Structure 1
C-alpha cells in the first residue's frame, strides 16, 4: 500500500486503533471478537511498539519475562519458552511476532502510517483521521494506544545537523547493527535506557564519554538463563500467577511489604534490605517496606544502604560522588535495573562528565562543545528518553467540539475521566495515557483488564446505536483532582521526574501518571460499567 500519496479510505470503521504495540495488538484481537469493524494505524514498519523501536544494545525487560506475556492464550503459554528471567529486545519482538502471526493481526493493520490529524465532525459524530502522506480514514470511535513512552525527547542542544559522524536516539534505533568497536562514542543521558546502553557500548568502544545531567538510583537486575526445568516449574504456576498479578499495585510480581519499617529493629531492617538486594528485579524497589514511599526518614535510611552498595562497586570515590543521587530520594524517580553498570566506570575507556559542571553548549562537526572544550566522537547516542504519557497525543492535531485542540485543553496538564476520555472530545478513548493505569507499570498486566473493558464498552456503544459518548465535565474534574491529590501524598511529589513532565524544559509541571493501585483502577472501571457507564454522557 502506497502511504505517500493522497488517498481516502472509503470504509467507515466502527473503531480505529492508533498503535500496534502490546496494547494495540490486544485491543485489535478483543474488538474482532466483538465483531466490530476495526483498523489499526501504526507509524512503524511492523508490530511491537516499544520492542520494535527500542533496538539499542542492552535493551531488555526489568519485569520478569513470564509476567510480561499475554495471559489469555493457554496454547501460547504452553508452547513459548523464555530463555532468560528478564528477556532482551530480540526475544520480546520474536514473541510478539509469534502472536501477530498466530492471530493474523497484520491484515487489519496499516503500517508506516503516522497519524497527524484527528478531527471530530459534530454533525455526523464521526472522526476523520489523516495520516502523513494524506491517507484519510473515517470512523465512529478512536482508541489511542499510542504508549506511555513513545514520543522522543531530544535535549535542547543546537547543531545536531552539523555533526559529521553517526548519531542515534535510543528510542528510534536502526534495524541494522551499529558498530561501536574501537570507536569514540558519546552517550547523553543516564536514565533507564542510558544505563542499559552505556553498559553494553563500554565493552566495545575505544573510548566512551558519558554525559550525565542527573544521577539515578539503580539496582542490580540479577538476570539469569531459564532452563527447560525452570520453564516447566514456572508453567505450573501460571493459573495462580496471573490472578496474583491482578492484585498487586502495578502488575509486578513484587508487592510492597505491609510492615512499617520503624516497627522493625534496625539490625533486622538492614538484614532485610540485604536479603532484598540479593533478589532479582524490582524486589529492591517495589518489594520494600511500604513507608519508604511516603516517609522521608525511612527512605533516607534505605537510600543510605543503596548508596553504600554503589560506593563499594566504584573504585574512584570522586566518580561515585557523581553517581550517587543527591537531588531526589530513592524510588521517587523510576528506578532502573542494571547489570555491572557501576563497574563500567572502573574501566579505563570510560569517562563520566557531569552536565552541571560541564554543560554541552552545542554539537560540532567532530562531536560536542562543552563549557570545558570539545569532546570528539565517531558516534553520538542520545538516551534522553521521552515526552511521557501525553507526548504522543500532543504531537497529533486532535480537534474536538468547536475545534478545541487537545493540546490546548492540556496546556497546563492533562484532564481526563478514568484516564480514558476527555470532555469535549467525544468518541475518543485513550488506553495507556495520562491518569489511567493501563500500560503504567507492568504493561501487559496493567492494560489487560482495561482493554477488555474498552472492548465491552465499544461493543455496547455500537449495539445500542450510541452516536456520541464523552466524559461528563464534572466527572472529569473530580477524577483529575483525585488523581492529583493521591499523587501529592507520595515522596515522588518532591522530585523532578518524567511523571511530572520535568524532563522536558519549559513544560508546565503537572502530574501525568496514576498513583492508585491496579485493582482499585479496574474496580472503578467495573463500577462505572455496572451503573450504565456512569461518568460518561451517552447520546443515542
Structure 2
C-alpha cells in the first residue's frame, strides 16, 4: 500500500477496496475481502465505533424485533456460539456489545477509520479506479467501492421550520447522544409513531412529567413477547445453528418462519381465526411475515386480517377517541412496517400522556418554546423528540457525491428515477457495489442479517471472479438494469403494498420518486436469481 503526504496535510492512499460503514454488512465485507482474499481494504465510518444502525439508534427502548438468535452471522459456527443472548428481543446496548464482540473476534478494528466521513467518490475512467475523498481532505485511490451505509441511516432531521430556534433540547432518535438525555419530570413532545416512535413512547411515558404525542398516521401493532434466556434456552437455540444456516437464506423473508398455514380460501372462517389467534399469541412478526401471503394481494383477505388486528387494538384502547386516532382504517395490515410493542397502547391511558392528531391539523413550526400547529394551537415543551424517520434505501448514498462514467451523478439520477441492478450495482458506476440499496429485499423486507450476508458474499465472489480472470472492471449493462427494474416493478405492482403511502414507497420524502424500495419477490427467490448470475459468469455485466 502506497502512502504519502502532500504539504503535510492531505493523506493519499492506494487500496484495493474501500468499504463504507461498519454495521452488519460492513464488518462482514471487510472480513471477506481482507481475510479471505488478502486484499488491501479499509472500512470508513462516521461513527466513533462499530455497530451501524445499532451505534446510532441508542434512543430509549431501541431493541430488536427480529429474534436475536436469527439476527446473526451464519458463516462461522464458532462466532455464532461464542455469544449468548439474554432475551429473545434484546435492547440496543446488548446489540452494540455483540457487534463489538464480532469486530474484536475477527480483529477488524485495525482496518477501520472511525470519525471519518466519505464526502465524494469519483470514478476515474483513465485509471478505472475510484478517487474517494473524506471530510478530512484525505484522498483514497481504490479499485472497488462497496457501500454498506445501511438502508435506514439517512435521518430526516430538518423537518419543520424554526427547529433552530427551540430553546430546549431537540433530538432525532437516530442521533440520540451517547450521554443520554435526562427526561425525568420534563415536558416532552414526540413527533412520529412508527416503529421507533412506539419504542420511545412506551419506554419514557412513565418517567417524563408530561408527554405530548403528535400522530399523523396510525399504525397496526403486534404485542411483543420477550422472555429472558437462561442457559437452557441459549443451548437450545445454539443447537439449531446448522438448521438456521440451511433454511434462513431460502425462506420468504429470511426469518425462521414461512407461509405454511395453507391457502386462505381452503380454510373455514373458524380455522382461519384459530390460526390468527395462535400466531398473535406468539408475540413476534410471524403474523405479518408468515401467516397468509394472500393478505398482500387480495383486498378481502387484507381487510379480514386487518380487522382482526383492529379488534385486538380496540379491546386495549377502549376510548373511542384514542381508537379513531391510533387504529388504521385506510390501509391494510402489513402494507406498512409492522412494529412490535410492549404496553404501547396502554401508555395513552396515563394521565400525563396526551395524544394529538396532526393528520388534519399539521405541525406548522417549532417555536422557541415548543410546537405550534396550523390552527395556532401551541404546546410548551422542554424536550422535542423527532421520530420522523429516514430517507430510506437511497438517502445514505445520495448524501455522498458519487460520480460515475461521464461525470454522471448518482444523486441527480436517483432524484429522477431510483434504479439499480439487483440492489448490488448501478449502471454507469463501474466497480461500485451496494448493500441495503434499493430494489433488493435488504432495503426493508428481510431479516437484515440474512440478506446482508448474502449480498456481501455475492459481492465478494464477484470481486474474486474478476481477479481470477485478470479483469479490472465490472458494470451492469443498461439492458440488464432495465430488465431488473421491470421485473421488480412487475412483482411489486401485483401487491397492495404499492397502493399504500409509506417510506417503503418513498412517500415520506417530498419529491422522492415513487417506487417500492424493496424487492418483494422473496428472499429465497432473490438469492437464486443472484446465484444464477454468478454461476453463469455474470451475463449482462460488462467486464474488462
TM-score (structure 1 length as normaliser): 0.97
Match in the other structure for 1:131: 134
> Residue 52 of structure 1: which of 46, 51, 55 is its match?
55
Residue 218 of structure 2 corresponds to residue 215 of structure 1: yes
> Residue 241 of structure 2: which of 238, 241, 255 is its match?
238
Match in the other structure for 2:227: 224
Contact 2:263–2:292 (Cα < 8 Å) also in 1: yes
User: Superposition pairs for residues 230-269 of structure 1, below 5 Å?
Assistant: 230-257=233-260, 259-269=262-272
- How far apart in 1 are the matches of 2:219 and 2:265? 26
Contact 1:259–1:290 (Cα < 8 Å) also in 2: no
1:431 shift after superposition: 1.3
Contact 1:257–1:290 (Cα < 8 Å) also in 2: no
Query: Equivalent residue of 2:450, what SS?
Result: helix
Is the alpha carbon distance of 1:269 and 1:494 closer, same or farther for their aligned partners in structure 2, counting shifts above 3 Å? same
Contact 2:317–2:323 (Cα < 8 Å) also in 1: yes
Residue 92 of structure 2 corresponds to residue 93 of structure 1: no
- How far apart in 2 are the matches of 1:35 and 1:69? 24
> Residue 29 of structure 1: which of 25, 28, 31 is its match?
31
| CA RMSD between the two structures | 1.4
Contact 1:416–1:480 (Cα < 8 Å) also in 2: yes
1:257 shift after superposition: 3.3
> Residue 377 of structure 2: which of 373, 376, 388 is its match?
373
Contact 1:100–1:106 (Cα < 8 Å) also in 2: yes
* More displaced 10-residue stretch of structure 1: 437-446 or 477-486: 437-446
1:139-169 CA distances to partner (integer Å, 9 max, x unpaired)? Answer: 0110111111000113631000100001110
- How far apart in 2 are the matches of 1:208 and 1:400? 48
* More displaced 10-residue stretch of structure 1: 30-39 or 6-15: 6-15
Query: Equivalent residue of 2:487, what SS?
Result: helix
User: Superposition pairs for residues 500-511 of structure 1, below 5 Å?
Assistant: 500-511=505-516
1:506 shift after superposition: 2.6
1:73-106 CA distances to partner (integer Å, 9 max, x unpaired)? Answer: 2223223111010011000000010111111211
Contact 1:216–1:324 (Cα < 8 Å) also in 2: yes
TM-score (structure 2 length as normaliser): 0.96
1:241 shift after superposition: 2.2
User: Superposition pairs for residues 292-307 of structure 1, below 5 Å?
Assistant: 292-307=295-310
> Residue 496 of structure 1: which of 492, 497, 501 is its match?
501
- How far apart in 2 are the matches of 1:479 and 1:357? 39
Query: Equivalent residue of 2:412, what SS?
Result: helix
Residue 108 of structure 2 corresponds to residue 105 of structure 1: yes
> Residue 473 of structure 2: which of 464, 468, 471 is its match?
468
- How far apart in 2 are the matches of 1:292 and 1:438? 21
Q: Give 5+ residue unaligned stretches, structure 2.
A: 1-6
Match in the other structure for 1:19: 21
1:99-153 CA distances to partner (integer Å, 9 max, x unpaired)? Answer: 1111121111111111111111111111111111312111011011111100011
Query: Equivalent residue of 2:250, what SS?
Result: coil
Match in the other structure for 1:480: 485
- How far apart in 1 are the matches of 2:272 and 2:227? 27
1:258 shift after superposition: 5.3
User: Superposition pairs for residues 121-520 of structure 1, below 5 Å?
Assistant: 121-154=124-157, 156-257=159-260, 259-370=262-373, 371-438=375-442, 440=444, 441-520=446-525
* More displaced 10-residue stretch of structure 1: 96-105 or 150-159: 150-159
Query: Equivalent residue of 1:416, what SS?
Result: coil
- How far apart in 2 are the matches of 1:195 and 1:151? 20
- How far apart in 1 are the matches of 2:359 and 2:77? 52
- How far apart in 2 are the matches of 1:24 and 1:437? 17
Match in the other structure for 2:543: 538
1:52 shift after superposition: 0.2
Query: Equivalent residue of 1:210, what SS?
Result: strand
1:254-288 CA distances to partner (integer Å, 9 max, x unpaired)? Answer: 21235221221112211221111100211121121
- How far apart in 1 are the matches of 2:139 and 2:342? 46
Contact 1:118–1:127 (Cα < 8 Å) also in 2: yes
1:14-68 CA distances to partner (integer Å, 9 max, x unpaired)? Answer: 1111111110000010101111111111111111000000000000000000000
Contact 2:261–2:275 (Cα < 8 Å) also in 1: no
Contact 2:12–2:138 (Cα < 8 Å) also in 1: no
Query: Equivalent residue of 1:231, what SS?
Result: helix
- How far apart in 2 are the matches of 1:278 and 1:525? 36
Contact 2:248–2:256 (Cα < 8 Å) also in 1: yes
1:6 shift after superposition: 8.7
- How far apart in 2 are the matches of 1:497 and 1:469? 34
Match in the other structure for 1:524: 529
Query: Equivalent residue of 1:118, what SS?
Result: strand
1:391-446 CA distances to partner (integer Å, 9 max, x unpaired)? Answer: 01111111111111012222232211121111111111111201123464111111
Aligned residues: 535
Match in the other structure for 2:4: none
- How far apart in 1 are the matches of 2:463 and 2:451? 19
* More displaced 10-residue stretch of structure 1: 8-17 or 85-94: 8-17
- How far apart in 2 are the matches of 1:436 and 1:7? 40
- How far apart in 2 are the matches of 1:413 and 1:514? 16
Q: Give 5+ residue unaligned stretches, structure 1.
A: none
